[in-house]
Structure 1
Amino acid sequence: MTAEVPERNDVRWGTIGQLSRSVHDIAAAEAWYRDVLRLPHLYTFGNLAFFDCGGTRLMLSAGEKADADSYVIYLRVPDIHAAHRELQARGAVFQAAPHMIHRHADGTEEWMAFFGDNEGRPLGIMCQVPPA
């Protein structure tokens, strides 16, 4: 007796549709993500606030598990140095200046810089710089 092997259907992945992050204070988080990051605010419903990140939806939810977050949301930017200057001017506090974290075999560089949101949890900006 042999076990039946199900037919293989390859999953076709698309872009990320939504990221979520819990927050302590939805009104303060909504204001910070809107005014400091200037992410387009889609809507707020109860203790949930939604923003557009270039086609990926960011959902902020107020709740008791806000301390459990241990992940970073990475936001792509076309010019990491310009984004760093602009975000600092708006009040974002960075851990360090943008820096190269990796050089790919084709010479493309990965650059990142990290800062905290209004509750001090990590966010990053990232940029790929093609070889000169």
Structure 2
Amino acid sequence: MSGKDPLMVQVAQHVEDLDRATTFYTETLGLPLIARFGPLVFVDLGGTRLLLEEAAPPALLYLRVDGLDQQIEHLKHAGVEIVSAPHDIFTDTEGLFGGHWTVESQAFIRDSEGNLLGLVGHRS
């Protein structure tokens, strides 16, 4: 395995409606579109490619977001299904996960295709 490059290069997510899913991930979530090649759409997840494709199996993605509570309010107003409101998951007082944070909170939503999507926020 290479040293400096990210280990995760790409993750695929199943979609039923490619146009609808592309709009959800790029406009609703605000992620940058990399490219579209026929039935394949690539979105940038901060250096990891998200492949949206009808033939892909479902995946459970966890996306780090700033201001988790505010993001959930924004998504709620956009009509996104909130499955689970933000709640604290873990307190990392020993730096086990190597972040510059102490508390990890998570919330869960459904994307435009019905896939469960985890949103993760960190705070000191």
Instruction: For CA contacts below 8 A with separation 6 or more, give which structure has more relative contact order.
Output: 2
- TM-score of the aligned structures, taking structure 2 as reference length: 0.82
Tell me the equivalent position of 2:111: 117
Structure 1 unaligned spans of 5+: 1-9
State which structure, 1 or 2, has the greater radius of gyration over its C-alpha atoms: 1
Tell me the equivalent position of 2:76: 88
Tell me the equivalent position of 1:62: 54
Distance change >3 Å, CA 37–CA 105, structure 1 → 2 = same
Query: Once superposed, what is the RMSD of the aligned Cα atoms?
Result: 2.0
2:84 counterpart SS class: coil
Match for residue 34 of structure 2 among 7, 30, 42? 42
Please state if 1:31 is matched with 2:19.
no
Distance in 2, Cα, partners of 1:95 & 1:62: 23
Please state if 1:12 is matched with 2:6.
no
Tell me the equivalent position of 2:90: 102
